[in-house]
């Protein structure tokens, strides 16, 4: 599907705009310049050739025009996502998986396209689904100017085009996370891994924001302007703010833009309307603009507070979860970009032949640089000896060509009037011819830039929890391979392997030692700031078999379940019986790529077992095809919510505290009649994603809701484990506690090796078993699976199975579901015995006191009885489960009679 209709929206040469769209004439219309094939100069900027089309021939212009974008279509990987209406370029590198869409271009492709970037290769930062705006609705798109103003305004895009003077000028947008991968290699931040191509430049057409604010007349005391988009996200609509005096300053050039490179905005870039803020981080340029709000204080939007900040370097990702006042401190908010530069050539892994090199032979080192806040990059310097000596590079500023536009010049319906503006809003290009003999003798190339305030890129990295504004010297390592020189950049974007930083860290180098991880002469041994994660081999080196998707799908059932982790194929058949989560966990993974959940859930011991099940590697094409998510199109009408192979979304509708550290979270299912679909005794998987990193957090829970009878809603009882001075706390429980009502969570299931069928009958690992007495030992939130089984037994009045429940806690408040438990025990006194024990009881406590120990179990449970159909169910903190296991072993109980949830 091509975007040709939209690409012609509002252009002056298009006599028939796209279906349903008819832009009114711009205030100063002019013919849209034709885009002739461009000729790229050595510095990488675009120069358009002259048009020779008779009456439509355009006068030559002193400034570059954008290259013509190639037709694009909706990609297969997007068809089953909410973005199934958005055409995209397949060259873009996805940084956060299939969805949401966060991408950068390959660095060489971005540089080669020149000064102006087509919409196809322009970087994209989306926090969630792209709002769908039909062509017929574009001109009627409304937005407001409101808040502390005398005259609130509601406008449509049609009004904006008809009533205001338009301007067109080039602006470079840069994500604050540009080059973040380097920080993530040193130490993982809360941000995903941008490479060095998180920036792009385009010609933007729109109305100066100051004109709209002036019409609304800000009140005395107004100091900020907030923006809000139409992209509904887990924590509300995306929004942020800038200072009012910046917003109304003509030299700052803030636009309410509706065109990019002369075309209507592409959906990924804000169709139909967005804010564009030159010189500031891209996160301030809100897309799909709906509200402009004048305020006295900075935005209180979640995304303004918890994104786009540089917190002090000593704050860890774990500590940051409990520092709301720190996040809200405006001193740490990022606005203007910092000065940065990167070499694009030589490219990563590029080789330079030495065979015919002479003393006169040179090689060109080329790249980009930018500054923030309207500052100009005034010098770029190259060193081949780690900073002892520097050489100035030649700099070219294509932006300055636009300052030469004749008076009254218009482009794409907007005035091109930069002659008076001193501010610089675009990247520049630099290059230096370096003798090949010097490169041969050097160990690396390093680059730094300086702006007109004499701010220079720092030598060393300033690591911070979000990994933003990374701008130390950019270093390319040179490997002399005899006949060739091979160049190695620091990192590659996303999960793409490669780069000297990963290599050095893997070899045990300390990337924070001030010498780029290399041990220098006389350097003492020092411990790294962070212990490198232990790398566990999960494959057999001798296994070389390549497996196609067709063969994998032949093993997606119960008999021989094959599944994929990190691109490798595993046969889970031998582990069906022994898997702690039951055979259903493996069968549910059959035929699927389960890398995310496997890595999030399993221990190092489990990962170390994987070579025993490794049978081959999925071929590249099959791996790409497998990445397409399964359809959930029928979720709105299907009778059962939980699905074993597909994550299903449920919306958080309520939180209810049941103790000082425990809450019941209520989630709304797809419709009121939908069943949960969870057999008694089994559990479900709950997944949350960090809104910044998109990193998955996955844990198993047993809900309070009766999984066999509940309809329309799901209650999950969770004990919150906060961070303390001695422990980092529970990653999932803290995340779950922090999400607001209206946020969604993903669920999958059922899983588990135990199921209570009724009448004393159950299955354990697929084998049937008759139980006449359950001994249920639990602590804290471990009551939930116990409660589920106990409720099923007690609710069946024809069931003669008895239950002994031993519930250990610290204080009385920690006893969860006590009222319900007491009620069940009282109503079924002949079959249910309930004992509570507190390790730190209050003065009024009359029950058992102390930890559950051997004396208690010997007195209340005793040794196993010959011929008795007893089964012990155990669930609680790891230390309690270990203690109970040891005590029951000493009492003569067999492992097959002890079941740990």
Percent of the chain with pLDDT over 90: 63
Between 148 and 660, the more confident residue is 148
pLDDT digits (tens, 9 = 90+) for 524-533: 444 444 444 4
Q: What is the pLDDT of residue 91?
A: 95
CB atoms within 10 A of CB 394: 12
Between 817 and 19, the more confident residue is 817
DSSP annotation of 136 reads G
Between 543 and 628, the more confident residue is 543
Q: What is the pLDDT of residue 595?
A: 81
What mean pLDDT comes out for the span 182-211? 95
- Residue found under tokens 């790249």: 367
Q: Which of 617, 621, 543, 628 is nearest to 592 (CA)?
A: 628
* Highest mean pLDDT of the ranges 558-567, 717-726, 838-847: 838-847
What mean pLDDT comes out for the span 727-747? 82
Q: Give the helix/strand (H/E) hosting 795.
A: helix 783-795
Q: What is the pLDDT of residue 247?
A: 97
Phi first, then psi: what are they for 857, rounded to 5°?
Answer: -70, -35
Q: What is the pLDDT of residue 878?
A: 86
Q: Does pLDDT of 515 surpass 80? A: yes
Average per-residue pLDDT for the chain: 86
* Highest mean pLDDT of the ranges 259-273, 572-586, 807-821: 259-273
- Fold held by 648-751: Elongation Factor Tu (Ef-tu); domain 3 (2.40.30)
pLDDT digits (tens, 9 = 90+) for 242-287: 999 999 999 999 999 999 999 999 999 999 999 999 999 999 999 9
Q: What is the pLDDT of residue 636?
A: 57
Q: How far apart (Å, rounded) are the C-alpha atoms in residues 221 and 76?
A: 51
Q: What is the pLDDT of residue 478?
A: 97
Q: Does pLDDT of 673 surpass 70? A: yes
What mean pLDDT comes out for the span 142-159? 97
Q: How far apart (Å, rounded) are the C-alpha atoms in residues 715 and 479?
A: 59
* Highest mean pLDDT of the ranges 381-385, 726-730, 824-828: 381-385
Q: What is the pLDDT of residue 707?
A: 79
What mean pLDDT comes out for the span 482-494? 95
Are 192 and 181 a contacting pair, CB within 8 Å?
Answer: no
Phi first, then psi: what are they for 503, rounded to 5°?
Answer: -65, -45
Question: Is 175 marked as binding a ligand?
Answer: yes
Domain extent listing, the chain: 340-506, 546-626, 648-751, 754-900
pLDDT tier, 621 (very low <50, low <70, confident <90, very high otherwise): confident
pLDDT digits (tens, 9 = 90+) for 382-431: 999 999 999 999 999 999 999 999 999 999 999 998 999 999 999 999 99
Min mean pLDDT across 47-56, 288-297, 769-778 is at: 47-56
Q: Give the helix/strand (H/E) hosting 145.
A: strand 142-147
Q: Does pLDDT of 53 surpass 60? A: no
pLDDT tier, 77 (very low <50, low <70, confident <90, very high otherwise): confident
Between 10 and 878, the more confident residue is 878
Q: Which of 865, 696, 708 is nearest to 771 (CA)?
A: 865
pLDDT tier, 600 (very low <50, low <70, confident <90, very high otherwise): low
Q: What is the pLDDT of residue 693?
A: 57
Q: Does pLDDT of 15 surpass 80? A: no
Task: Please give the biggest Cα pair distance in the chain.
Answer: 103
Q: What is the pLDDT of residue 582?
A: 63
- Fold held by 754-900: Rossmann fold (3.40.50)
Residues marked active site are found at 175, 307-308
Domain covering 546-626 in this structure, CATH number? 3.10.120.10
pLDDT digits (tens, 9 = 90+) for 305-339: 999 999 999 998 878 877 889 999 999 999 999 99
Q: How far apart (Å, rounded) are the C-alpha atoms in residues 153 and 144?
A: 6
Q: Does pLDDT of 29 surpass 80? A: no
Q: Does pLDDT of 820 surpass 70? A: yes
pLDDT digits (tens, 9 = 90+) for 447-459: 999 999 999 999 9
CA angle 675, 681, 685 (to 5 degrees): 65
Tokens matching residue 51: 């048009």
Q: What is the pLDDT of residue 376?
A: 98
The CATH number corresponding to 340-506 among 3.90.550.10, 2.40.420.20, 2.40.50.140, 2.60.40.650 equals 2.60.40.650
Q: How far is CA 595 from CA 538, 562, 565, 684, 891, in A?
A: 12, 13, 4, 18, 41
DSSP annotation of 190 reads S
Q: What is the pLDDT of residue 52?
A: 34
Between 630 and 883, the more confident residue is 883
**First-residue to last-residue Cα distance in the chain:** 51
Q: What is the pLDDT of residue 692?
A: 52
What mean pLDDT comes out for the span 770-789? 93
β strands within 574-724, DSSP E: 614-618, 648-659, 662-668, 683-689, 696-701, 713-719
Q: What is the pLDDT of residue 726?
A: 75
**DSSP string covering 773-790, please?**
EEEEEEEGGGHHHHHHHH
pLDDT tier, 584 (very low <50, low <70, confident <90, very high otherwise): low
Q: Which of 97, 188, 84 is nearest to 130 (CA)?
A: 84
pLDDT tier, 661 (very low <50, low <70, confident <90, very high otherwise): confident
pLDDT tier, 619 (very low <50, low <70, confident <90, very high otherwise): confident
Q: How far apart (Å, rounded) are the C-alpha atoms in residues 459 and 448?
A: 8
Q: How far apart (Å, rounded) are the C-alpha atoms in residues 434 and 314?
A: 40
Q: What is the pLDDT of residue 520?
A: 54
CA angle 812, 814, 815 (to 5 degrees): 75
């Amino acid at each position: 599907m091509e975007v040709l209709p939209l690409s012609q929206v509002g252009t002056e040469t298009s006599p028939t705009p796209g279906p349903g769209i008819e832009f009114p004439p711009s205030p100063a219309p002019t013919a849209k310049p034709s885009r002739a094939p461009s000729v790229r100069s050595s510095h990488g900027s675009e120069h358009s050739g002259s048009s020779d089309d008779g009456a439509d021939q355009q006068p030559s212009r002193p400034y570059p025009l954008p290259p013509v974008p190639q037709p694009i279509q909706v990609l297969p990987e997007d068809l089953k996502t909410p973005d199934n209406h958005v055409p995209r370029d397949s060259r873009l590198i996805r940084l956060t998986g299939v969805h949401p869409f966060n991408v950068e271009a390959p660095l060489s492709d971005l540089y080669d396209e020149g000064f102006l970037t087509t919409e196809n290769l322009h970087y994209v930062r989306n926090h969630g689904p792209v709002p769908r705006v039909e062509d017929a609705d574009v001109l009627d798109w409304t937005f407001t100017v409101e808040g502390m103003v005398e005259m609130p305004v509601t406008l449509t895009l049609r009004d904006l085009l008809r009533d205001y003077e338009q301007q067109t000028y080039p602006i470079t947008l840069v994500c604050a996370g540009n080059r973040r991968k380097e920080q993530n290699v040193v130490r993982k931040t809360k941000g995903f891994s941008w490479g060095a191509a998180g920036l792009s430049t385009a010609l933007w057409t729109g109305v100066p924001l100051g004109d709209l604010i002036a019409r609304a007349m800000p009140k005395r005391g107004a100091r900020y302007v907030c923006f809000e988009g139409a992209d509904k996200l887990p924590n509300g609509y995306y929004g942020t703010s800038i200072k009012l005096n910046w917003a109304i300053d003509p030299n700052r050039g803030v636009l309410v833009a509706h065109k990019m490179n002369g075309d209507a905005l592409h959906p990924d870039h804000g169709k139909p309307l967005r804010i564009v803020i030159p010189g500031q981080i891209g996160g301030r340029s809100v897309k799909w603009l709906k509200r402009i709000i004048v305020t006295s204080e900075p935005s209180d939007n979640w995304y303004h507070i918890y994104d786009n900040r540089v917190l002090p370097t000593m704050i860890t990702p774990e500590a940051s979860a409990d520092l709301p006042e720190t996040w809200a401190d405006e001193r740490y908010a990022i606005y203007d970009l910092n000065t940065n530069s990167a070499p694009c050539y030589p490219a990563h892994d590029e080789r330079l032949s030495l065979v015919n090199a002479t003393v006169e032979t040179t090689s060109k080192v080329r790249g980009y640089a930018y500054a923030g806040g309207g500052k100009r990059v005034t010098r770029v310097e190259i060193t081949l000896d780690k900073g002892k000596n520097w050489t100035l590079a030649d700099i070219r500023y294509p932006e300055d060509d636009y300052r030469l536009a004749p008076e009254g010049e218009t482009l794409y319906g907007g005035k091109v009037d930069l002659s008076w503006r001193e501010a610089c809003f675009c990247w520049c290009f630099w290059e230096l011819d370096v003798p090949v003999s010097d490169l041969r003798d050097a160990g690396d190339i390093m680059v730094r830039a300086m702006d007109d305030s004499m701010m220079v890129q720092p030598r060393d990295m300033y690591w911070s929890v979000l990994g933003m504004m990374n701008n130390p010297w950019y270093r390319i390592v040179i490997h002399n391979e005899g006949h060739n020189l091979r160049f190695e950049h620091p990192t590659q974007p996303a999960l793409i392997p490669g780069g000297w930083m990963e290599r050095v860290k893997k070899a045990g180098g300390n990337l924070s030692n001030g010498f780029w991880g290399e041990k220098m002469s006389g350097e003492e041994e020092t411990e790294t700031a962070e212990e490198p994660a232990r790398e566990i081999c999960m494959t057999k080196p001798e296994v070389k078999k390549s497996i196609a998707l067709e063969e994998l799908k032949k093993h997606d059932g119960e008999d021989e379940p094959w599944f994929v982790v990190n691109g490798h194929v595993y046969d889970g058949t031998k582990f069906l019986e022994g898997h702690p989560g039951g055979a259903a966990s493996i069968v549910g993974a059959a035929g699927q790529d389960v890398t995310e959940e496997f890595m999030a859930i399993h221990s190092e011991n489990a990962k170390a077992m994987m070579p025993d099940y490794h049978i081959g590697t999925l071929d590249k094409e099959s791996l790409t095809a497998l990445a397409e998510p399964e359809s959930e199109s029928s979720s709105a009408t299907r009778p059962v919510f939980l699905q074993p192979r597909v994550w299903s979304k449920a919306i958080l509708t309520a939180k209810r505290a049941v103790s000082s550290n425990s809450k019941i979270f209520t989630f709304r299912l797809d419709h009121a009649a939908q069943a949960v679909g969870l057999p008694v005794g089994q559990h479900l998987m709950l997944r949350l994603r960090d809104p910044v990193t998109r990193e998955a957090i996955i844990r198993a829970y047993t809900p309070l809701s009766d999984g066999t009878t509940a309809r329309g809603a799901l209650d999950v009882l969770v004990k919150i484990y906060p961070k303390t001075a001695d422990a980092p706390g529970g990653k999932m429980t803290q995340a779950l506690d922090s999400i607001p009502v209206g946020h969604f969570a993903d669920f999958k299931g059922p899983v588990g090796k135990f199921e209570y069928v009724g009448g004393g009958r159950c299955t354990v690992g697929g084998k049937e078993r008759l139980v006449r007495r359950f001994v249920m030992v639990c602590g804290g939130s471990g009551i939930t699976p116990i409660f589920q089984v106990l409720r099923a037994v007690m609710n069946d009045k024809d069931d003669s199975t008895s239950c002994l429940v031993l519930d250990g806690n610290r204080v009385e408040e920690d006893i969860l579901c006590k009222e319900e438990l007491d009620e069940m025990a009282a109503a079924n006194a002949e079959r249910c015995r309930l004992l509570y024990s507190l390790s730190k009881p209050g003065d009024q406590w009359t029950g058992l006191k102390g930890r559950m120990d051997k004396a208690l179990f010997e007195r209340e449970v005793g040794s196993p009885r010959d011929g008795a159909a007893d089964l012990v169910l155990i669930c609680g903190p790891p230390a309690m489960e270990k203690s109970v296991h040891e005590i029951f072993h000493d009492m003569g109980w067999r492992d097959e009679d002890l079941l740990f949830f």
